[in-house]
């Protein structure tokens, strides 16, 4: 936490609180250029920019960074990290770029750090270890060390990058004998969040050393890896190609190998894959078979695979480099890729069912341009798990079992963006059906192999709660300034504030962009927008902005771009208001007046219609589409689900309104179902780190305030911790009378305290709002380090509020009469402090 603002009390409010990464601006690239030279920083007109930005396996990952930094040493990386952190620059790291997940190794508008020149391979004199730069690909590593008769537990395809492979666990040709690739790393060279270059070993930093073994790049930037070598170079390896009529004979052999073969001879390795390319009439199995010695014939553990008739058999003695080249044959950059994974317990019958389901899906998309699909089964043998444990263990949460673990992965390839929606929808259905089949047989396992996982599959959670808690503790220790996708420079946040400045089509005008831009003036500030209707039927007020039409999205994009240009961040608040709507307004829009139940709101003349279960499903889809529009089209850093102040989600949550008798009413679990289903769906759509949620357990606004809200809201929070522990934040409204009161609330009231929520949420970002003044905000921020304070009325009247509070400058008085009136008065005409304008 930064300690540089003079008053110790104020440090706690203005110190760094990590809740993500800022948007890049030209100043970030300019300062990097000044520090590292033009030979290492490439902007968009530089040919090297294009060259570096195309090094992705999947075209879905090619984004548009503001510049590309190509460091040549760990010192260069350290310099870059210090500049990026100091200037709140959005950035991403790319090693080999062998991922199908957009944003995992790239960034739009931010800074891309390409590790491609960190490509040294230095074999020790005794040939027992090798230091490998993080920018290498495995084919280059094998070529260099193979000359000396040794190899490492690296990737099985030459084009796969070193860094991501090792940080995600790593499945290698030697895995049944030597364990996960990560368990063969002897030390890491890391650049930590503060720019420090550290050598991480079991002795120097045992917690971080273990966290890096499967915990991915959450703790800093790995610049090199020191790996154990093994005296292996010439091996017996190649492909066995089978025709479809022999598939039924293969499934039992696959199960036997998983149960016995890999155990009896851990020098063996088999990847059981099936390939379907309808446009080329290719439909076959391709099993890559490997033995880590140059034998003349298949050893007994894998011999049954050779006894099934093949179309082609390429197995022979070759080098590890040649094996990795062969397995990667046909790998082409530039097409659109998607990968999914899950794990099961070994069973031939289940293999067959899953294959049939995948195959029918692959055939069903045969008209899609460039369509290709593959499915693979890979055993995580008990011998592999034991070998990993003997080398110090990892964070994957795996233990030997009677039924061996099998990693199932799907790969999908197509050519055109126009087919994305169709392909993704089909893949989602396949995944649901596949996992349901495995679950119905009690053979679905928890583990997800991170390097095959889709961005919304949450592989770290699959390691188990103990491992996840450990990873979270290590992250807080070594990278305290990053949670989610953005990093704030202070803990002063713009609260969501209804202003009624949109036009009659719910489209924001340019004046709104000016309003938000003014409040983004201090770099590293988080703004949460006014509540925004997710759809026309979810509204019921005039002049509130929406996020469903292209015109609305473009208007919001203008806002986002101007906020990002200031180096700040912005989340969109998603709003559905239910019975809070004005009935005549919602009817004029052509939609019914609805709520969780037909419970009359005191100042409304009409009783709302109860939403059916079909209506509920539709509303959840509206939330999903609105979130996608916000993040993927308008460019918001994330979204906040408005589940506070008596609006539709809270009309389900609180029993003052919800009188239903179905699965959405009655018990706490049922009343919470709608809110949790919305959250689950939004997280799946845009990512857990781009999703926040707001609650107001104590508010009496719009007929809320159940007798004892703590049990209900405690249940919701515990479910969020269980389902989405990496949620960007939760946002709680303090105990305060909503509406026109200017009273400074008793934020420490024990009778109506949000401390129960803080205790459940733990050491995660926690936002609070509720009429805070400087003294009460400072007191709360001093007491709770992970708490950020959302200011409303003070931020309306003081667009430079963070600086005014930091420097104890006088505050403008707000004019309540202009809160909801059209035009610039009381909106964009509040002045900045003279000190700021000077």
Contacts of 763 (CB under 8 A, 6+ apart): 472, 476, 786
The answer to whether the Cα torsion of 143, 145, 149, 154 is positive or negative is: negative
Structure tokens at 814: 């707000």
CB distance 156 to 171 below 8 Å: yes
Distance between first and last Cα of the chain:
29
Whether residue 549 contacts residue 504, with contact meaning beta carbons closer than 8 Å, is answered with no
Please tell me the distance from the alpha carbon of residue 342 to that of residue 742, in angstroms, as a whole number: 54
Q: Are 90 and 133 in contact (CB under 8 A)?
A: no
Q: Which of these, 584, 449, 486, 416, lies nearest to 20 by C-alpha position?
A: 486
Name the token pair of 827: 């909106």
Is 288 assigned a catalytic role?
no
Distance CA 214, CA 389 (A): 13
Smallest Cα–Cα separation from 479: which of 760, 195, 778, 797?
195
* Beta bridge mates, 373: 276, 412
CB 560 within 8 A of CB 512: no
The helix/strand/coil state of 359 is helix
Annotated active-site residue in 188, 291, 463, 647: 647
Contact at 8 Å (CB) between 228 and 129? yes
* 59: its two tokens: 């075209």
Question: Which of 84, 106, 93, 103 lies closest to 30 in space, CA to CA?
Answer: 84
Compute the Cα dihedral for 612, 617, 621, 624 and give only its sign.
Answer: positive
The H-or-E segment that residue 768 falls in is strand 766-769
H or E element: which one contains 130?
strand 129-133
**CA pair distance 485, 90, nearest whole angstrom:** 9
- State how far the Cα of 256 lies from the Cα of 301, in Å rounded to an integer: 9
Question: C-alpha angle with apex 460: 637 to 350, nearest 5 degrees?
Answer: 120
Distance CA 371, CA 258 (A): 31
> What's the order of all strands across the beta sheet hosting 185-191?
121-123, 129-133, 221-228, 185-191, 197-200
Q: Is there a contact between 113 and 66 (Cβ–Cβ < 8 Å)? A: no
SS3 assignment for 218-243: CCCEEEEEEEECECCCEEEEEEEEEC
Which residues have C-beta within 8 Å of that of residue 518, sequence separation ≥ 6? 799, 800, 828, 830, 832
Residues forming a β-bridge with 197: 191
The whole-angstrom separation of Cα 391 and Cα 186 is 10
* 464 backbone φψ class: left, alpha, beta (φ>0; ψ -120 to 50): left
As given in the structure block, the two tokens for residue 276 are 């379907």
Q: Which residues are catalytic?
A: 647
């Amino acid at each position: 936490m930064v300690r540089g603002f003079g008053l110790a009390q104020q440090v706690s409010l203005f110190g760094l609180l990590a809740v993500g990464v800022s948007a890049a601006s030209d100043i970030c690239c300019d300062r990097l250029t000044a520090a590292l030279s033009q030979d290492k920083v490439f902007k968009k007109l530089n040919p090297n920019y294009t060259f570096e930005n195309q090094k992705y396996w999947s075209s879905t990952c090619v984004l548009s960074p503001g510049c590309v930094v190509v460091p040549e040493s760990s010192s260069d990386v350290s310099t870059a990290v210090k500049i990026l952190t100091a200037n709140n620059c959005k950035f991403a790291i790319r090693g080999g770029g062998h991922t199908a997940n957009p944003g995992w190794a790239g960034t739009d508008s931010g800074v891309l750090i390409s590790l491609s020149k960190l490509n040294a391979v230095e074999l020790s004199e005794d040939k027992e270890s090798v230091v490998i730069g993080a920018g290498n690909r495995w084919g280059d590593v094998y070529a260099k060390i193979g000359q000396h008769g040794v190899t490492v537990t690296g990737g099985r395809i030459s084009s796969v990058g070193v860094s991501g492979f090792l940080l995600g666990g790593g499945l290698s040709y030697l895995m049944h004998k030597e364990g996960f690739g990560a368990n063969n790393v002897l030390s890491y060279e890391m650049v930590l969040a503060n720019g420090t270059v550290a050598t991480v070993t079991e002795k120097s930093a045992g917690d971080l050393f273990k966290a890096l073994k499967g915990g991915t790049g959450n703790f800093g930037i790995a610049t090199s890896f020191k790996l154990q070598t093994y005296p292996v170079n010439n091996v017996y390896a190649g492909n066995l190609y089978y025709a479809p009529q022999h598939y039924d004979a293969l499934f039992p052999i696959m199960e036997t190998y998983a149960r016995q073969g890999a155990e009896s001879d851990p020098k063996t390795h088999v990847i059981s894959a099936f390939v379907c390319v309808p446009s080329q009439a290719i439909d076959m199995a391709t099993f890559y078979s490997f033995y880590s010695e140059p034998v003349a014939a298949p050893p007994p553990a894998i011999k049954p695979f050779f006894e099934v008739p093949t179309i082609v058999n390429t197995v022979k003695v070759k080098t590890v480099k040649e094996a990795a080249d062969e397995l990667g044959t046909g790998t082409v950059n530039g097409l659109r890729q998607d990968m999914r994974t899950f794990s099961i317990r070994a069973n031939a019958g289940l293999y067959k069912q899953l294959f049939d389901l995948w195959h029918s899906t692959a055939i069903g998309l045969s008209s899609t341009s460039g369509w290709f699909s593959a499915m693979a089964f890979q055993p995580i043998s008990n011998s592999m798990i034991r070998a990993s444990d003997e080398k110090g263990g990892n964070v994957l949460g795996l233990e030997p079992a009677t039924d061996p673990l099998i990693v199932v992965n799907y790969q999908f390839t197509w050519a055109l963006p126009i087919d994305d929606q169709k392909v993704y929808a089909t893949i989602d259905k396949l995944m649901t059906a596949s996992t349901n089949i495995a679950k119905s047989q009690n053979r679905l396992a928890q583990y997800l192999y991170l390097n095959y996982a889709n961005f919304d599959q949450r592989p770290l959670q699959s390691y188990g709660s103990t491992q996840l808690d450990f990873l979270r503790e290590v992250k807080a220790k070594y990278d305290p300034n990053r949670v989610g996708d953005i990093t704030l420079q202070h803990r002063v946040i713009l609260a969501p504030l209804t202003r009624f400045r949109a036009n009659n089509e719910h489209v924001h005008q340019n004046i709104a962009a000016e309003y938000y831009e003014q409040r983004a003036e201090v770099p590293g500030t988080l703004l949460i927008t006014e509540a925004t209707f997710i759809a026309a039927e979810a509204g019921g007020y005039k002049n509130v902005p929406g996020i469903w039409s292209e015109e609305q999205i473009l208007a919001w994009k203008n806002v986002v771009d101007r906020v990002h240009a200031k180096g700040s961040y912005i989340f969109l608040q998603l709003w559905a208001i239910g019975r809070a709507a004005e009935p005549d307004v919602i009817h004029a829009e052509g939609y019914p007046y609805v709520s969780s139940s037909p419970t009359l709101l005191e100042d409304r003349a009409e009783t709302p219609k109860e939403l059916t279960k079909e209506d509920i499903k539709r509303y959840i889809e509206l939330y999903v589409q609105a979130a996608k529009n916000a993040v993927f089209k308008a460019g918001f850093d994330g979204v906040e689900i408005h589940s506070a102040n008596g609006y539709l989600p809270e009309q389900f949550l609180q029993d003052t309104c919800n009188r239903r008798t179905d699965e959405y009413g009655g018990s706490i679990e049922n009343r919470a179902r709608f809110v949790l289903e919305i959250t689950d769906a939004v997280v799946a759509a845009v990512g857990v780190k781009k999703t926040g949620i707001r609650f107001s357990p104590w508010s009496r606004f719009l007929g809320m305030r159940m007798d004892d809200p703590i049990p209900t809201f405690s249940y919701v929070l515990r479910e969020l911790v269980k389902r989405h522990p990496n949620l960007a934040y939760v946002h709680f409204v303090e105990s305060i009378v909503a509406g026109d009161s200017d009273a400074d609330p008793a934020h420490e009231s024990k009778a109506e305290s949000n401390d129960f929520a803080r205790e459940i949420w733990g050491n995660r970002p926690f936002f609070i709002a509720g009429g805070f003044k400087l003294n009460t905000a400072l007191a709360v921020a001093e007491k709770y380090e992970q708490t950020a304070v959302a200011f409303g009325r003070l931020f309306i009247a003081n667009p430079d509020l963070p600086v005014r509070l930091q420097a104890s400058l006088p505050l403008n008085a707000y004019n309540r009469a202009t809160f909801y009136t059209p035009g610039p008065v009381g909106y964009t005409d509040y002045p900045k402090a003279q000190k700021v304008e000077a």
